[in-house]
Structure 1
Amino acid sequence: MTSPTPVVELVQAGFAYEDGPPVLSGVDFAVAEGRAVALLGRNGSGKTTLLRLLSGGLRCVSGSLRLDGTEVAYDRKGLTRLRTTVQLVVQDPDDQLFAASVDQDVSFGPMNLGLPEEEVRRRVREALDALDITALADRPTHLLSYGQRKRAAIAGAVAMRPRVLIMDEPTAGLDPHGQERLLDALQRLREAGTTVLMATHDVDLALRWADEAAVLAPSGLRTGPVAELLADDALLDEARLRRPWGTAVARLLRTHGLLATGASEPRTPEELDAWLGAAASSRTE
């Protein structure tokens, strides 16, 4: 069966900053509809550069960027088409938020599309609701907490109704509660049909959240199912990533014959607790 055309795709892409060495070279990377993808790599591996290439903020110096199978033209029409399909949320929300209030900031993108006022208001309401910040609509952005600013920045991207939402380290700087609220919001977006690509250093987060992983290592970009890639010790060593907690636990359970081959692996402490409870119940029956 023929694979569907990726929404957005880099083909043999290369990039170098002015007077600097290549950051990326010969990269093939496709983002398919409806997937949750974690992009991992050490500092300086090129994660942020790759995200900016995908979203049109940077232009490939070699290779190409394709949208629905067609090469992107870096003119007004081509970039408008790209940016209504793919939206990037940067790591620091203060680099993205600029309006006086949350409502004004979230409405900025849709207004620039020239949409009718009623449609702009609808998109803003839906985006605020998706990120669970409706109560903050009139709040000055400078009075928001860091986690609230993160969600407001994402809401601004969501209001553009992109098919692909790209985020650079979205959980960085958030406490555990803030991380869980953000992940809940991202799950709602996925259920509504948004494809999500997240760059992160957190291998445990990648394992529990993503369907697929893309790992930037000195030898190149590797992609595949997240559990498979994050169980590849040689790849993790090359990319200077630590082993995920869930992978280590699954290996321990299998070594002692407690987890059957092909059985679902506990990927978080909560899932391990549930697994232990179920195992204990089965022994007492």
Structure 2
Amino acid sequence: MSEPVLVALRGVSFAYEDGPAVLSDLDFEVREGRALALLGRNGSGKTTLMRLLSGGLRPRSGELTVEGRPVRYDRKGLTRLRTTVQLVVQDPDDQLFAASVAQDVSFGPLNLGLPDDQVRIRVDEALAALGISALADRPTHLLSYGQRKRTAIAGAVAMRPRVLILDEPTAGLDPDGQERLLATLDGLRRSGTTVVMATHDVDLALRWADDAALLTPSGARTGPVAAMLARTDLLEQAGLRLPWGIAVTRLLRERGLLTDDAPGPRTPEELATLTGAAPPVPAEG
């Protein structure tokens, strides 16, 4: 991959107080413009890795770099990091605290010391990007779960980060909410934001990501998503199953219905298009 590295962990190790090592001598890169899915079993260190990337945790050894420059963990260094990398946690209620949506989204830009007119511009842009402009004055405690998710992401987007890290962003959303969120993330990517998504959903990773990073006991293994999620040895180490799309692609190739160099279907809809069959109809009830 020739895209420049925006953020990287180099030889990083980390352990919580009085606990065993969570990550040891880890190398991990986030490349500009690549949608990256981060996958691994519970306890593999995904949350720790994301907090290290965003500056919420400091490595016991090794270093975090932004565009090749080591991050300093003083006020100036962390401010620079947080205008480059933003993390949105899985539960929006852990991130929302202001009385209204607009107030919550404005918190980060205000902390940067921006003038009020610039804060308003950033808030308006972030709300529009997440499709929640109409909710600006809505009390946060009256939001639906999906609206709270979008508000939490808008708060990160208002910081105009180059890298947006999302921890299980589709968890708890119904299928329509998931599709709308993925469309929003595609819009953010088109506007220049590099997105990293931690997920347990291998089918989602296959259809959404450019690259996949699998956290295994021997470290992080990263590469093009279709190739990585076809590695049954790595999937087993990471506690993951084979994605539906990979299994179907193998079957189609075995039966001579798909050439080796043709991309396989990632969704049932793509399979229907490929085979000329009618797309699946959702069951009622």
Query: TM-score, length-normalised on structure 2?
Result: 0.95
Give the conservation status (yes or no) of the 8 Å contact 1:5–1:69.
Answer: no
| 1:260 alignment counterpart | 259
| 2:209 alignment counterpart | 210
| 1:282 alignment counterpart | none
Show structure 2 runs of 5+ residues with no match.
279-285
| 1:233 alignment counterpart | 232
Aligned length: 278
| 1:179 alignment counterpart | 178
- What is the SS of the residue equivalent to 2:276? helix
Instruction: State the 1:278 CA deviation.
Output: 8.2
| 1:135 alignment counterpart | 134
How far, CA to CA, are the matches of 2:126 and 2:261 in structure 1? 38
| 2:102 alignment counterpart | 103
The superposition leaves residues 194-225 of structure 1 with CA deviations (integer Å, 9 ceiling, x where unpaired) of: 00001000000000000001000112111100
| 2:147 alignment counterpart | 148
The superposition leaves residues 49-98 of structure 1 with CA deviations (integer Å, 9 ceiling, x where unpaired) of: 00000000000001100011000000000000000110000010000000
Residue 264 to residue 278, structure 1, CA distance change in 2 (3 Å): farther
- What is the SS of the residue equivalent to 2:173? coil
How far, CA to CA, are the matches of 1:160 and 1:146 in structure 2? 22
Instruction: State the 1:115 CA deviation.
Output: 1.0
How far, CA to CA, are the matches of 1:238 and 1:177 in structure 2? 32
- What is the SS of the residue equivalent to 1:42? coil
How far, CA to CA, are the matches of 1:137 and 1:277 in structure 2? 45
How far, CA to CA, are the matches of 1:103 and 1:128 in structure 2? 8
Spell out structure 1 runs of 4+ moving beyond 2 A. 2-5
How far, CA to CA, are the matches of 2:90 and 2:3 in structure 1? 30
Give the conservation status (yes or no) of the 8 Å contact 1:86–1:164.
Answer: yes
Give the conservation status (yes or no) of the 8 Å contact 2:213–2:223.
Answer: yes
Alignment of 1:1-285 (within 5 A): 3=2, 5-277=4-276
Instruction: State the 1:3 CA deviation.
Output: 4.3
Query: TM-score, length-normalised on structure 1?
Result: 0.95
Give the conservation status (yes or no) of the 8 Å contact 1:102–1:140.
Answer: yes
How far, CA to CA, are the matches of 1:131 and 1:262 in structure 2? 37
Show structure 1 runs of 5+ residues with no match.
280-285
Instruction: State the 1:5 CA deviation.
Output: 4.0
How far, CA to CA, are the matches of 1:9 and 1:228 in structure 2? 22
How far, CA to CA, are the matches of 2:272 and 2:99 in structure 1? 45
How far, CA to CA, are the matches of 2:88 and 2:22 in structure 1? 21
How far, CA to CA, are the matches of 2:111 and 2:223 in structure 1? 37
Amino acid corresponding to residue 234 of structure 2 in structure 1: L
Amino acid corresponding to residue 121 of structure 2 in structure 1: R
Root-mean-square deviation (Å)? 1.3
How far, CA to CA, are the matches of 2:273 and 2:121 in structure 1? 40
